[in-house]
Structure formats: C-alpha cells, structure tokens
Amino acid sequence: MTDVELKDTNAVSYGTVESSLVRRRKGEPKSVWDDDSSDSEDEANDRDSRRLRLVFRWSDLFLILGYCALAAVALWLSLSRMLPQAEKLRLAFHNTSIAASPSELLLVEAPVILTPNAYCRDIAKNVLGMGGNAVDAAIALSLCSVAASPQSWSLGGGIIILYYNRTSKQANVIDALTAAPKALSTERFHQMQLRGLRDAESVGVPGTPKGLELASKKFGKLPWVRVVEPVSDLCSEGFNVSDALARVLKAQEKSIERRPSLRDLFLVNETGKLLQEGDVFRRPVLAATLKRLAQYGAADFYSGLLSKNILTDIRSKGSILNTDDMGSYEAIAEGAIKVPAGVTSSLLTSPRPSGGPALAMAASLLQGLSPLMRTPDLGLQYHLLVEVFKQSLSHRMDTSLAYSDSQLYNITKTMSGEEVRPSVPGTDDAAFRDAGIPDSVAVLDPSGDAVVVFSDMHGLFGSQVYSNTTDVIFNAALKEFAVTTAAGSSGTSNEVQYIPGTRAPTTMAPAIVVEDSGDVRQFLTVCGSGNQTLTAAMQVILQKLHVMGYKLATLKLNTTVTGALRDVLSGKFWVNMDHRIVF
C-alpha cells in the first residue's frame, strides 16, 4: 500500500471509528478484533449514564421548588433588615445636615500659590518666572505678607518652614520660632508673671529674618537679593488694604489708639482715621529695612545697624532683650515628622515645640480608630473625635520628647499613638489656652516641590510693641509659657516651662500630604485662633484622608464638653486645603 493509500485509509478510519458495543446494538456480529474488556466498561458506563438520567428525570420537582421558595423568603428577610441599616450608614457617612465647608474643591495647574493677597501672589509668580523654585517663591510670599498682613506677619515674629522635595521625596523643617531672652532667669520671669507681663516684657527674640535667609541658602535657587527686592519696591509704591486687615484694625481700634507709635502706622493722614479696605497703604520705612536685609543679609537685623535701632526702640518701651540675645540667635534646620495618613499617603509636619506632633498624633489615632469611627451612631463619632483632640493636644508638649534631630525617630514612634490609644475614649482633661492667630502661605512649583510657611506673632499685632525706625512690630512670645501661680504650681503637660533661651511654644502646624508615589496630594494651610487651627486640621484629615463622608466644618458641642475644651473646638473653620494638583 502506498503512502497515499495509507493516508486515505487513515482519513476514512478517523471518521468511522465505532465501539464494538455500538455495532452490536445495530445488529452487527461480534468481530474477532473486538476487545471484551472494553465492551464491559462501555456497558457499565452506559448503565451509569441511564441511572443518572433516571435519577434526574424522577427527582422531586416539588422539592426543588420548595428550596427556591425558602431561598426567596430568606433573601426578602435579609433585605428587609439590611436596607434600613444601610440607609443609616449612608446618612451617617454622608450627613448633609451639617453645613459643608465653604472651601471649594478646585482643579488647578501648578504652580499653586496660596495667599489671600493678589499682589503677593503676583510677586511669587514673578519669582518663579525668574527661575526660582518653591522656596524662593515662598520667601517672597512671606515677606510680602509681612508688609500686607501686619496683624499676623512681621520681621519681629517667628516662623516655621516645611519644605518637601519631590525629586528626593525628602522633607525638611526650618525652625525660626521666637526664643526667650538668655538674660531673663526663670525666677525673674515667674515674678514678672505674678504681677502681669507688660507688653514689652513679653517680647522674645524674633526668628523670621534668620529663618527666611537659612531657607534661601539651603534650598533656594535665586540670590537672596533678587527675592527680597520686589517686596521692598511694593512697600515703597504702596498697596490696597485688604478686607482682613481692615476688619482687624476696626476690631483693635481702641487698643491701637492707646499706642501712639502703632496708631501712626495705620492712620490716614488726610482724615486722621484708621485705614479702611481699599485705602493705599505705603510703608517706606519697612521698604528701607528690607533693602538693608537684601544688601547685608539677616546679620544686619541681629548684629548690625538694624539691630542697634531695634534694641534702642524696644528697650525704651521696657523690653529686656539685649545684643547677646539678638546676636546669638540661630534658625534650626531639621527633618520633618512623617506618619501614615490614609491608605496610600503620608502626613509631613514639623516637630515640637510646634503643633506638628499633635497633628501627627491625631492622624495616627484617627487611622487606628477608623473602624470605630464607622459606627452609625453620630454621637459616638463625635465623642471619639473629641477624645482624639484631647489626647493629641494634651500630649503636644510632652516633656519626655527631646527636641533634636537625633530624637526624631522616637518622636515619630511616640506620636504613633500606640501608648495612648487604649485610653481613647478617655477622661483626661487639660487646660487649652488660646495661643494667638497663626497665619500661613504655601507654594507648589511645576517640578512638584512644595513649601508651607507658618507665621505666629502670638496675638493680633503681637505685643503691639513697635519700632518706629525699622517699621517692625514685635511678638508676644513669652506669654505662651506655662503660668506659675503664687502657690508655685504651674500649667499642665500641654504647656512648656520657661527656660532662658528656649523656643516659645506655638500651635502652628505646617503640613503636606504626599502620596506613596511622591506627588503632593494636599496642603494644610489653616488660619484661625490658637488651638482651633489644630482641631480644624485634624477634622480635615478625618474628612479628606479617611473619607468618612460627613462634614464637620461647623461642629457645635453640647454641655457635656468642658468649657475650656469647648473654646478650642467650637466655631467655623476655614481651611485652604482643597486643591487637586495637575502638572
């Protein structure tokens, strides 16, 4: 047989293969080639198949229908119980009975410049256009705020700068907070407290000039002079008074009237009245001060001609600052605190004595308590939230935390909340004193670098002590230390004991939320009264990062909350955080 014939035969056989059992059923005789063992297997399979068909064919149809009916009843009962519960959860997590925050969720393109003053925004934008980075723009923005918002910004105050580098994914903090005078002993300070601190006696060593200059040297791109000069020119030319400044001037009118030098700064010469919204505000003396800073650097403010003029002015009003206090002051560069915040993001903030540790602790506590926060009981939700506030604020100034770079790991570990989480909810009460009116600005440049700068004068216009020769308003930092009574007892763990030369505590908490990918997700740039800035930021963390759904922007507390804590928590919070960044 040829190959072709073999192929044809094979082709036919592929289509005509039949088992011997099938052929026998057709009446064909058994072949000698048939395998009896395979026939027995085929017969067994055939019987099994017919048996299976018989079982399926004669199974009880009514039994199946009964099972279906029972399943339908069970489903109906489950849905009837689950749907109302689901509705409660929906109302709890998407509660619309509390007014939403007035801040809109915006889709913006980098660069992002956060400031209430349009002319300051233009200056920062021009600095970026000259080749500057986020740090350069933030320095210009801060100096412009010194000119335009003297109620909360001044060269005589203190600042904290949080800088995040997108390329390295590293965050750094510059601490330029005000410091206590070295020559003022603890005993003398307590004596002054007992009789009441006078305005000039509350002035601490300012840190703003040194902090801005250090930021420029370590992280900026443009020369210092190119960043400072545009603000000096603005002070010479003048700018329109903002609504915020006008409202503060009106509210503080009686206090300003009692201080002739400060009153002269804000008077309109033609009318003899305080500046109002829209009036042109010129500050030629501050322009001259900024020109010297641009030319000679911050050293002139601390040990040069500016320092000499400053000390002459404020010592004549009763300040105890001296040349050693000014000349020995240094800003501090250190690492930032980083804690998880949300599923795929982290919170970056500043270490103590700022409000950063309290904010970091709250973020960790909220993350750990998130299963409990999903209860449909709104009362319990609020209770847990208030307890987080209490725990975070009361541990903010824990004296067991060292204030140095080498202890940052321990700070982060302590702020993780593991030690205090079992006591939440708890019953601890602490005294929460109002700590002034911090303010902030923020910049995110096209490369993804972000900077947040917080300023604190420790009160509106600080101590209201004014240097006429330099146009600098000074802080009231010494009022932030723990109050010592005649009996010798002092404040709670929330407060810092006075030590000569130490940094004054503050509630300022600059914060940046970054994704695991390294992209900036959100800023925390709050402005409000004292500890309310922290509780507002904590609520934003809960709303935005843990996606709870309900709005707490107008949280009102009932009588079960102590009076001191009520002042911290109640009120409306205006949070400039809701920005999505597009590159």
Query: What pLDDT digit, counting tens, does each position of 481-505 carry?
Result: 866 544 444 444 445 678 888 888 8
pLDDT of residue 580: 34
Q: Could you tell me which residues are beta bridge partners of residue 512?
A: 348, 523
Q: Per the confidence metrics, is the pTM higher than 0.85?
A: no
pLDDT of residue 399: 43
pLDDT of residue 505: 83
The three-state secondary structure class of 172 is: strand
Residue 323 belongs to a domain: yes
**What is the separation of C-alpha 313 from the centre of its chain, rounded to a whole number of angstroms?**
38
Q: Could you tell me which residues are beta bridge partners of residue 473?
A: 466
Distance CA 206, CA 450 (A): 25
Q: List, as residue ranges, the binding site for L-glutamate.
A: 480, 506-507, 530
Domain of 526? 106-238+282-582
Residue 2 belongs to a domain: no
Q: Do residues 462 and 475 touch, judged by C-beta distance below 8 A?
A: yes
Residue with tokens 């350069």: 136
Q: What is the mean pLDDT of the chain?
A: 74
Residue 48 belongs to a domain: no
Q: Looking at residues 52-57, what average pLDDT do you find?
A: 50
CB atoms within 10 A of CB 327: 13
Q: Looking at residues 384-400, what average pLDDT do you find?
A: 66
- pLDDT at residue 113 is higher than 70: yes
Count the domains in the chain: 1
Side by side, the strands of the sheet bearing 332-335 are 112-114, 439-444, 450-456, 158-165, 170-176, 332-335
Closest CA to 383 of 571, 572, 565, 574: 565
pLDDT digits (tens, 9 = 90+) for 128-149: 999 999 999 999 999 999 999 9
Measured CA angle at 540 (ends 537, 545), to 5 deg: 125
The three-state secondary structure class of 5 is: helix
- pLDDT at residue 304 is higher than 50: yes
Highest mean pLDDT among 38-42, 267-271, 453-457, 517-521: 453-457
Residue with tokens 């801040």: 103
Q: List, as residue ranges, the binding site.
A: 480, 506-507, 530
pLDDT of residue 159: 95
Mode of pairing for the β-strands spanning 345-349 and 158-165: unpaired
Residue of 150 and 553 predicted with greater confidence = 150
Residue 565 belongs to a domain: yes
pLDDT of residue 330: 95
Residue 38 belongs to a domain: no
Residue 243 belongs to a domain: no
Identify the band that residue 287 occupies on the pLDDT scale cut at 50, 70 and 90. Answer: very high
The three-state secondary structure class of 451 is: strand
Q: Do residues 265 and 313 touch, judged by C-beta distance below 8 A?
A: no
**Comparing 144-158, 224-238, 301-315, 330-344, which segment has the lowest mean pLDDT?**
330-344
Which DSSP letter does residue 156 get? B
Distance CA 353, CA 385 (A): 23
Distance CA 360, CA 418 (A): 13
Q: Could you tell me which residues are beta bridge partners of residue 349?
A: 337, 511
Which DSSP letter does residue 38 get? H
Residue 71 belongs to a domain: no
Identify the band that residue 583 occupies on the pLDDT scale cut at 50, 70 and 90. Answer: very low
Which DSSP letter does residue 477 get? G
- pLDDT at residue 191 is higher than 70: yes
Q: Looking at residues 169-189, what average pLDDT do you find?
A: 92
Handedness of CA 429, 433, 437, 442 (dihedral sign): negative
Q: Do residues 523 and 577 touch, judged by C-beta distance below 8 A?
A: yes
Which residues touch 353 (CB under 8 Å, ≥6 apart)? 177, 397, 403, 496, 503, 504, 505, 506
Residue 249 belongs to a domain: no
Furthest C-alpha separation in the chain: 132
Q: Do residues 422 and 387 touch, judged by C-beta distance below 8 A?
A: no
CB atoms within 10 A of CB 371: 7
- pLDDT at residue 44 is higher than 50: yes
pLDDT digits (tens, 9 = 90+) for 400-439: 443 333 443 443 344 344 444 444 433 333 333 444 567 8
